[in-house]
Structure 1
Amino acid sequence: MKIIVPMAGRGSRLRPHTLTVPKPLIPIAGKPIVHRLVEDIARVLDEKIDEVAFIIGADFGEKVEADLKEIAEAMGAKASIYYQDKPLGTGHAIMCAKDSLEGPAVIAYADTLFKADFTLNKDADAVIWVKQVENPSAYGVVKLNEKREITDLVEKPEEFVSDLAVIGIYYFKDVAVLKGELQNVLDQNIIRGGEYQINDGIEAMKQKGYTFVPGKVDEWMDCGNKDVTVETNGRMLNFLHGDGEKLISNSVKITNSEITEPCFIGENVELVNAKIGPNVSIGNGCIIKDSAIKNSLIQEFAEVRNAKLDNAMIGNFAKFDGNFTQISIGDYSVLE
């Protein structure tokens, strides 16, 4: 089994945090989004992952590539790196990894996390993972027939078609079939909204008799912008805490401080006169002094002093003093 992860977009809505680190490597509950994604997919598949293919931007750099290879190798899988040099859509991104598009595979876009407890039907030609939503007009949705097979993909329907939204994760019994159809899309220059779309390849497969069925997830968590990323961090912390996972490192130095779980606190963090939690993630090497922090995400080696934070997101190596008189904040930052 392979996992194909298109992730070439930087994530402009999550700036300034994605100016130096691509969105899929932003940590959620102490682990990069893409790391959690591939682990959760492997858990649902319940079989060995042979290869994880990442489609990234050519400017992501050697450090990002090394981190991605480490994620795949930790699962006992081969890591393949491909590049998408232009933002030409989902179909184009997948075809950038065409050398890996053979055999059974899951394609998953690395800007979402999920929780699911279902058995994947590996006998189906393909599975599209969906989540029941309250406002289907904001999503692409699937329409089912009486056999619970997918008959249509409808993008942001103005009238009610279905409340099963496509979350961006697909299983193909033989992904080479999709590759062939997407090659036709590219050759025939079938463009929608200025991009080549995976849905055109899927529609061509359906027209040739391939059967698509839904795989329904219980939780779908977005990481599109700062607010929803902080919310997703809190939701993930609650899931992990409920599962009994150890989230607070033994190396945390605590002086006159209290922690209200769930929280993730990484290695060699120093807490002095601090109230932390609930729903807070603090990365390795951070120093938090004279502060109260809840519902927030702080990345590695940051220093926070004299702060009262709620719904905050602070980047790597940042320094924040709540009693500041002079500040230097990067592009797209928001102080509220």
Structure 2
Amino acid sequence: MKALVLSGGTGTRLRPLTHTSAKQLVPVANKPVLFYGLESIAAAGITEVGVVTGDTEDEVRATVGDGSEFGIRVTYLRQEQPLGLAHAVLTAREWLGDEDFVMFLGDNFLIDGITSVVEEFSASRPDAHILLTKVANPSAFGVAEVAADGTVVRLEEKPEAPRSDLAVVGIYLFTSAVHEAIDRITPSARGELEITDAIQWLIDRDFTVRSTLMEGYWKDTGTVEDLLEVNRIVLERLRSRTDGRVDEASELVGRVSVGRNTEIRNSRIIGPVVIGDGARIHGSTIGPFTSVADDCAIIDSGIEYSIVLEDSRIEGVRGVEASLIGRSVRVTGAPRTPRTHRLVLGDHSTARISA
């Protein structure tokens, strides 16, 4: 079995961060989201991995390399335009050959990996196998109708009136039958070759499409809120370690990981928190649920439930929370100004103003 990992797309919901970075490389707990997917693929025993890239190919190549760090062999496959998930499979057709494969969307995160579903698929080999999860807003996803035995009977992409609350997770398993389906479908109204249409083509022609209802945690990390939530989930499994320098005036509370050559002075770190290498934390309070990347400086500040990327500096700012701060950012306190109120009130008004 091979794996096809999609690492293209524009990441519009994460702008402006994704103007300069691939959305799959945004870190949670100081590790790119994409890495968690590659690790789960390797853990499932899959070693041949095709990574589909777009305009951010150079950055993805530089970060992932040849895959040896993960125990896999990576082949890069360029998708010139983001024309749909089925189009990505079409782009990889020659590399995939006639082998079974798992398609993994690189910005998806599964806490329990894919080993069990790969084993399930390999044992029974349906023509396609999809992962499902119950969601509160199914109209934002591909939605499945499933028979009692787990067979999929219908798929719809972001329906206005969903027939179920079962959303399709961004991990799919296929035999080579999917290539015929992709050859036969046409672009959707948004001009893309939809993988849901290809799977529905298989269903309509009595190919076997099975499903697994996920019980573990899954998230599509397409928004800042999603990234912060995944960061929280990963940090809850953090192991404490201190490889940097922590002075006697500082306090580490709970699970805190401090990187090499990091200096913590006169600060309080409330875990779970991970701080990368070469950081400086002076006179500050950090955490809980915060990731601070390499070479950052947090001086006389307070931050919690946030992600701070490499080489950024926060100085003289308290009360930073639920924030995603990019690379080489400078956040500083503004000078205090007298507080004034300008009012235009009609007759018989009542105004209540906080002093």
* Deviating more after overlay: 216-225 vs 24-33: 216-225
Q: Which residue of 1 aligns with 2:14?
A: 14
**Equivalent residue in structure 2 for 1:273, among 283, 286, 308:** 283
1:68 aligns with 2:64: yes
SS of equivalent to 1:88? coil
How far is the alpha carbon of 1:111 from its aligned partner?
A: 2.2
Determine helix, strand or coil for the equivalent of 2:63: helix
> Is the 2:256–2:273 contact (alpha carbons within 8 Å) kept by the matching residues of 1?
no
Contact kept in structure 2, 1:3 and 1:38, CA below 8 Å: no
SS of 2:197's equivalent in the other structure is helix
Match status 1:28 vs 2:25: no
The answer on 1:294 being equivalent to 2:304 is: yes
Q: Which amino acid aligns with 2:223?
A: N
Question: What letter matches 1:26 in structure 2?
Answer: V
Bigger-Rg structure (1/2): 2
Aligned position for 1:321: 332
Residue 177 in structure 1 maps to residue 188 in structure 2: no
**Cα 1:16–1:135 shift into 2, 3 Å:** closer
Corresponding residue of 2:133:
131
**Aligned residue-pair number:** 314
Distance 2:301 2:261 in 1: 20
Identity %: 31
- Cα distance per residue 1:11-51 (max 9 Å; x no partner): 122111111111001111111111112223444xx32x222
Moved more, 139-148 or 275-284: 139-148
When residues 228 and 298 of structure 1 are mapped into structure 2, their CA distance, relative to the original with a 3 A threshold, is same
Higher mean C-alpha deviation, range 290-299 or range 220-229: 220-229
User: What does residue 170 of structure 2 align with?
Assistant: 168
Distance in 2 (alpha carbons) for counterparts of 1:133 and 1:41: 25
Q: Which moved more, 1:303-312 or 1:118-127?
A: 118-127
Q: Tell me by how many angstroms 1:137 deviates.
A: 3.1
TM-superposition CA deviations, 1:218-255 (whole Å, max 9, x none): 2122322223322322222124459x998432432110
**Corresponding residue number in structure 1 for 2:234:** 236
Question: Partners in 2 of 1:64 and 1:164 — Cα distance?
Answer: 32
1: distance between equivalents of 2:203 and 2:335? Answer: 60
What CA distance in whole angstroms lies between the structure 1 residues aligned with 2:195 and 2:29?
A: 31
Distance 1:248 1:319, change over 3 A: same
1:289·1:304 contact (CA, 8 Å) conserved in 2? yes
Single out whichever of 142-151 and 108-117 deviates more from structure 2: 108-117
TM-score, normalised via structure 2 length: 0.81
Per the alignment, residue 333 of structure 1 pairs with none
Question: Partners of 2:95 and 2:284 in 1: how far apart?
Answer: 49
Deviation of 1:202 after TM superposition, in Å, equals 1.4
Partner AA of 2:165 in structure 1 = D
Distance 1:154 1:64, change over 3 A: closer
Higher mean C-alpha deviation, range 248-257 or range 22-31: 248-257
Matched residue, 2:149: 147
- 112-121 or 244-253, which deviates more: 244-253
Distance 1:212 1:240 in 2: 37
More divergent stretch after superposition (156-165 vs 258-267): 156-165
Contact persistence 2:264–2:280 (CA under 8 A): yes
Who is 1:332 aligned against?
A: none
Aligned match of 2:199 in 202, 209, 215?
202
Deviation at 1:4, TM superposition (A): 0.8
Aligned partners of 1:6 and 1:94 also within 8 Å: no
Q: Deviations over 1:283-327 (max 9, x none)?
A: 1111111011101100011111112210111111111112369xx
Q: Which runs of 5+ in 2 are unaligned?
A: 241-253, 337-355
